[in-house]
Homo-oligomer: A and B are copies of this chain.
């Protein structure tokens, strides 16, 4: 209703996307991309792995909510084509969570694409997944993120960067632009623009012009 129906021109098996939840994840970092990909349900199927099955508290949670339910654990045996990580204050402890980092490394070995929004890049960096890669991150926390992965080739001014199978974006709302780029990467720019228009989002046209996708 609020987005146009997805193209059904090319019947394909939906791409399995896992959006990793952890305590203190930034809500919009994950819900922006989930919205962009979720409306193209014949192309993408979204799973929400967490530290355990059950509600996970977001970074903006105060007394109670919001809580998003994790359906799988990080070490899920399910094969994911795309792994997506948000940022948020939970990344400050996440960079020392060996269980999370190991799960990311194992998934990264088999995925088509591993993506981060905002300080989610710190988790990828600490897991060694950005070594030698061009990548970007949240602008305000950039200095801290850099310390997590000194072998990363940082592109601080980018809204998003795709290098090989690693896709990283700037802070929070930049994840929406990145998700539209992800859609363009897999299914072409026409569909990507149609979905962005459907959710009334002005997809950053400059990043593409700069050859960043």
State whether B48 touches A65 (Cβ < 8 A): yes
**Is A67 engaged at the interface, CB distance under 8 Å to the other chain?**
yes
Question: Bound complex: CA of A41 vs CA of B60, how far in Å?
Answer: 8
**Is A148 engaged at the interface, CB distance under 8 Å to the other chain?**
no
**Chain A: interface size category:** 35 or more
State whether B2 touches A118 (Cβ < 8 A): yes
Contacts of A41 in B (CB 8 A): 60, 62
State whether B46 touches A4 (Cβ < 8 A): no
Contact of A200 among B27, B88, B138 (CB under 8 A): B138
A92 CB → nearest B CB, Å: 7
Number of copies: 2
Contacts of A69 in B (CB 8 A): 55, 65-67, 69
State whether B27 touches A28 (Cβ < 8 A): no
**Is A34 engaged at the interface, CB distance under 8 Å to the other chain?**
yes
Could you show 29 A-B contacts with beta carbons less than 8 Å apart?
A1-B91, A1-B138, A2-B87, A2-B119, A27-B31, A27-B34, A27-B35, A31-B32, A31-B66, A35-B172, A38-B58, A38-B60, A41-B60, A41-B62, A46-B62, A47-B65, A55-B69, A64-B71, A65-B69, A67-B68, A67-B69, A140-B198, A170-B200, A171-B198, A172-B198, A173-B201, A173-B202, A174-B200, A202-B202
